[in-house]
């Protein structure tokens, strides 16, 4: 029985992943309805923010009576009215006899109430199936709900001796085309992509998601003095929202030089640079719930030093630059004792065509 539940939960998780880039700030959810012989009757997933939840899609797509059937879902069914009616009520209405859940919803509005409602209605509830995997799937949503902060991942590409660019700031291309495709997949997951004015000026990146049916993340540029040329690729009018984090002292006259569709947010300064902690708080309040950092050494240092980073995704190319003036992954960041290092836990390693992709999580408490 447990083996079958695990198999069906993995199916839920894979269904849920189809909502990447479309459901934020909601969680990723998949649902499968099956009978006592584990024959799948119907399935569904949360496809777009504001639209039906996974359970409702699975129920509505069923071609037969659901009385006495079971439903498995990676996240507790909701019990409240939001943009859609409560899924728990519909499950009860349809006479479903068993609900298998991966994890309790961290949203305080739900937080066990959905499962309680089902139990009170006499439905058999099984909890915690592949809970670790379910929590990993919705790590962004969990952090949003529990800490009221965006989930932040730093992405970097380095040589084997840890350089992200040469002393003359050449960085194209450290990694190969396969690694770059992986980066575009990442961009589809996150609400926003953060970089600095130096990266815009030196590399002139597009910061787009170039995968089939992909979605461009919001382009976020830390530009204290509004120094980025308006001819930069990030300002191409392709419908993608652009946010500039400017210093609080920037003049109204300077702001007027930028098109009105570019959102300029004045941020507090720290050592004459954007106070990154305050900026991240502001971004969360504006609706940016997850951020992929693709920036230079200074922003990387600020994000790590302030303990804002959740993950590090590092693409390591089999190259040695050996340049004394080469640019390190972080700049101005130093620990004089091994015991005071910022520690990470490696979550996965993947050998690509030529490069290695390592995903690690910063150790700062269990999520």
Residue pLDDT tens, the chain, 367 long: 899 999 999 999 999 999 999 999 999 999 999 999 999 999 999 999 989 999 999 999 999 999 999 999 999 998 766 667 789 999 999 999 999 999 999 988 888 889 999 999 999 999 999 999 999 999 999 999 999 999 999 999 999 988 888 777 777 788 999 999 999 999 999 999 999 999 999 889 999 998 888 889 999 999 999 999 999 999 987 788 999 999 999 999 999 999 989 999 999 999 889 999 999 999 999 999 999 999 988 999 999 989 999 999 999 999 998 877 788 888 877 777 888 788 899 999 999 999 999 999 998 743 3
Q: How far apart are CA 1 and CA 34, in angstroms?
A: 13
Torsion sign across C-alpha atoms 150, 28, 244, 207: positive
Structure token digits, residue 335: 């620990």
pLDDT value of position 125: 96
- Give yes or no for a contact between 269 and 192, defined as CB atoms under 8 angstroms apart: no
Structure token digits, residue 38: 């584990």
Q: What are the strands, taking DSSP E only, across the chain?
A: 30-34, 40-45, 70-73, 98-101, 124-126, 151-158, 163-165, 192-196, 218-222, 242-247, 262-267, 269-270, 273-274, 290-293, 311-316, 327-328, 344-351, 356-362
Q: What are the strands, taking DSSP E only, across 176-229?
A: 192-196, 218-222
pLDDT value of position 338: 84
Architecture of domain 2-131: 3-Layer(aba) Sandwich (3.40)
Helix, strand or coil, per DSSP, at residue 203:
helix
Q: How far apart are CA 156 and CA 179, in angstroms?
A: 11
pLDDT value of position 366: 35
Q: How far apart are CA 21 and CA 16, in angstroms?
A: 11
Q: How far apart are CA 12 and CA 29, in angstroms?
A: 7
Closest C-alpha among 177, 170, 158, 178 to residue 314: 158
- Give yes or no for a contact between 161 and 322, defined as CB atoms under 8 angstroms apart: yes
For the chain, the domains span 2-131, 149-362
Closest C-alpha among 150, 127, 165 to residue 281: 150
Structure token digits, residue 232: 């930069």
Global model pTM greater than 0.85: yes
Closest C-alpha among 101, 102, 99, 104 to residue 132: 102
pLDDT value of position 367: 37
Q: Where are the alpha helices (DSSP H) in 71-176?
A: 87-93, 113-120, 131-137, 139-147
Which residue's entry shows tokens 């509005």? 109
Judge whether 285 counts as a catalytic residue: no
**Residues 6 or more apart in contact with residue 175 via CB below 8 angstroms:** 157, 315, 317, 354, 355
Structure token digits, residue 100: 């298998």
Residue of 4, 43, 47, 55 with catalytic role: 55
CB atoms within 10 A of CB 41: 19
Structure token digits, residue 344: 């990470």
CATH superfamily of this structure's domain 149-362: Dihydrofolate Reductase, subunit A (3.40.430.10)
Q: Pairing mode, if any, of strands 151-158 and 290-293?
A: parallel
Q: How far apart are CA 312 and CA 275, in angstroms?
A: 21
Torsion sign across C-alpha atoms 328, 202, 150, 24: negative
**Residues 6 or more apart in contact with residue 365 via CB below 8 angstroms:** none
């Amino acid at each position: 029985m447990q083996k079958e539940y695990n198999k069906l939960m993995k199916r839920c998780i894979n269904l849920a992943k189809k909502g990447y880039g479309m459901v934020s700030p909601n969680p990723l959810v998949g649902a499968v309805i099956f009978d006592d012989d584990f024959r799948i009757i119907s399935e569904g997933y949360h496809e777009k923010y504001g639209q039906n939840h996974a359970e409702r899609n699975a129920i509505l797509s069923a071609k037969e009576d659901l009385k006495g059937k079971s439903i498995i879902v990676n996240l507790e069914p909701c019990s409240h009215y939001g943009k859609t009616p409560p899924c728990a009520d519909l499950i009860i209405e349809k006479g479903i006899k068993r609900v298998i859940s991966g994890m309790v919803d961290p949203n305080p509005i739900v937080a066990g109430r959905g499962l309680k409602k089902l139990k009170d209605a006499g439905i058999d509830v099984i909890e915690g199936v592949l809970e670790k995997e379910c929590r990993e799937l919705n790590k962004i949503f969990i952090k949003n709900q529990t800490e009221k902060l965006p989930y932040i991942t730093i992405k970097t590409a380095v040589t084997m001796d840890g350089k992200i660019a040469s002393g003359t700031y050449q960085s194209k291309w450290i990694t190969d085309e396969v690694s770059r495709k992986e980066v575009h997949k990442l961009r589809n997951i996150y609400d926003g992509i953060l970089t600095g004015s130096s990266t815009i000026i030196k590399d002139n990146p597009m910061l787009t998601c170039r995968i089939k049916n992909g979605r461009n993340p919001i382009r976020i540029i830390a530009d204290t003095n509004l120094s980025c040329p308006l001819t930069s690729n990030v300002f191409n009018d392709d419908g993608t929202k652009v946010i500039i984090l400017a210093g609080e002292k920037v003049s109204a006259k300077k702001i007027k030089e930028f098109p009105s569709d570019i959102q300029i947010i004045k941020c507090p300064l720290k050592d004459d640079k954007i106070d990154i902690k305050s900026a991240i708080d502001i971004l969360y309040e504006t609706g940016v719930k997850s951020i992929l950092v693709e920036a230079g050494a200074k922003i990387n240092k600020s994000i790590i030093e302030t303990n804002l980073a959740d993950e590090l995704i590092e693409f390591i190319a089999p190259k040695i630059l050996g340049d004394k003036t080469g640019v390190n992954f972080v700049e101005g960041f130093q620990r004089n004792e091994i015991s005071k290092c910022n520690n990470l836990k490696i979550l996965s390693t993947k050998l690509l065509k030529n490069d290695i992709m390592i995903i690690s999580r910063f150790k700062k408490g269990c999520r």
